[in-house]
Structure 1
């Protein structure tokens, strides 16, 4: 059987996700290490039940979301590995691609923490554009509108029935008035992620990545920028450099996985965002979820 481990990105975070793994090995140590680097209590941020007045302690703030998700996902995947589980290949959605590269031993936990601090800060400071989710639409109509309207791209091609667009606020408003869909939902984000609006932060991120050593992966990685199995560390580096200003091609990633007739997709993370996409987009595929210390198996 082909086993694909997949790691979600922003949008899958939830209050209580750190508590679900607090008794796993390395949880306290890893949260403490990252909290020192980020200069805030990340475990506490994962557990705050009240609406924070300070954005620096808000789990939904990109600065916190990305590192907290990585911590939870990395702790869960290492617990699976310790039990003898391993994937045939890995993939991650946006931030999850960094977790996938960590899982494949391309770089260390410490490198990931520093890298995510740089990435999240650059994305928060981008400050341009916005994003919107579109659900239940005609693909041909959407593609024509994206081609017709300037300053708009498909940022997350999540499935045949769900995409996220990035662009200027005006362009998104124009498209919302023309498209026929079930839902058009503006997202509360700090910029137009995975689009040309991110060219400048993406360029700075590429410079930062030059400092990071990419090791040979232990198993193939499917990247967001180019959804194909890759085991070349130099190519994986190029793909990660291009990820921030290009779309997440998750629909194509699922289609690639589905070429395996005997496939088991295991989502490792706090919620079932990718599992839900897989169940709606794919047929006759086994999908499991690993999100807490109670279920370190599949």
Structure 2
């Protein structure tokens, strides 16, 4: 790494697009091996879903989660292959699902176990969406305390604090309708239902979290070589015990993304690389602090740009 302090960040669900990662697959042997390994681990051609599947098929939680993680990890492996050396940022973090990708790049989870875990996570979340129906809404333009009051009065949950004035809530559909009405009355510029299948990062995911925890307990974790800024408390973790605890609580708790970026910038990180499909996180980081340098790495050309900038 050069003199600036760097963080690798990894996107979560809703970053998927049909055909993502195909450029990496065609141009990088290291990336291609990740896609092939994912197909083998899952016993199905996930790569076909990613490269050739419809938007509807790719958007299913059971497909979206392993697909996004696979593309993110493939981009990271392409970087290391082209650099010819392991890349050690100052911090790493991922948004919800992206936290699993960050654990793979930090050496806490093997690629095999990462793909297995996110696939099971996606299946369990899909099942929870059926068993405990709900949704999510974005509240824009009022602060966290106001949104907490909205949740308190409407039986909804604070799910993602993405920026100081972009906050996601979740809950049962009728409760969300009441929450959006109340948020608007409190001055929210917008209150928008999100096109997701369930109430992620809320108590409605308890059945998924409980079943996932059995799998997490049986998974082999290592101490991370890079501090991971945890979703649930925006603090750095490296020990395998803390990593396991983080994942066992993540699905029912709020993603403190605004605080996570704040922690890293308070510790002098000035350059963020979003590794994986889309640029959702890059947009959030710039809204949090417009002075930061934010770059995307989702295709082979961007991998080569990274290599050139680091040499």
Question: Shorter-normalised TM-score: what interval?
Answer: over 0.9
Give the drift of 1:163.
1.5
Give the drift of 1:233.
1.1
Within the candidate set 258, 264, 280, 2:271 is matched to 264
Match of 2:100 in 1: 98
Map Cα deviations across residues 141-197 of structure 1 (whole Å, 9 max, x no partner): 3221112222x1111111112121111111101011121223222223232111111
1:149 aligns with 2:151: no
Contact 1:80–1:86 (CA<8 Å) still a contact in 2?
Answer: no
Taking a change above 3 Å as real, the CA distance of residues 107 and 51 of structure 1, as seen in their structure-2 partners, is closer
Contact 1:226–1:239 (CA<8 Å) still a contact in 2?
Answer: no
CA distance in 2 between counterparts of 1:139 and 1:262 reads 24
1:119 aligns with 2:121: yes
| TM-score normalised by the chain length of structure 1 | 0.92
Within the candidate set 3, 6, 12, 1:3 is matched to 6
Within the candidate set 11, 14, 19, 1:16 is matched to 19
Taking a change above 3 Å as real, the CA distance of residues 120 and 283 of structure 1, as seen in their structure-2 partners, is same
Map Cα deviations across residues 33-89 of structure 1 (whole Å, 9 max, x no partner): 32344344322222347555xxxxx11111111111111110111222231443111
The gaps in structure 2 that reach 5 residues or longer are none
CA distance in 2 between counterparts of 1:238 and 1:170 reads 32
Taking a change above 3 Å as real, the CA distance of residues 17 and 147 of structure 1, as seen in their structure-2 partners, is same
CA distance in 1 between counterparts of 2:140 and 2:49 reads 30
Match of 1:28 in 2: 32
Match of 1:276 in 2: 283
Contact 1:126–1:190 (CA<8 Å) still a contact in 2?
Answer: no
1:61 aligns with 2:60: yes
| TM-score normalised by the chain length of structure 2 | 0.88
Question: Over aligned residues, Cα RMSD in angstroms?
Answer: 1.7
Within the candidate set 173, 177, 197, 2:177 is matched to 173
CA distance in 2 between counterparts of 1:137 and 1:263 reads 27
Match of 2:139 in 1: 134
CA distance in 2 between counterparts of 1:232 and 1:92 reads 17
CA distance in 1 between counterparts of 2:121 and 2:159 reads 17
Within the candidate set 232, 248, 251, 2:255 is matched to 248
Match of 2:234 in 1: 227
CA distance in 2 between counterparts of 1:262 and 1:119 reads 31
CA distance in 2 between counterparts of 1:89 and 1:8 reads 15
- Of stretches 190-199 and 28-37 in structure 1, the one that deviates more from structure 2 is 28-37
CA distance in 1 between counterparts of 2:7 and 2:294 reads 10
Contact 1:106–1:233 (CA<8 Å) still a contact in 2?
Answer: yes
Match of 1:55 in 2: none
Map Cα deviations across residues 193-239 of structure 1 (whole Å, 9 max, x no partner): 11111112111111111111110111111111121111111011101
Give the drift of 1:294.
0.8
CA distance in 2 between counterparts of 1:210 and 1:141 reads 37
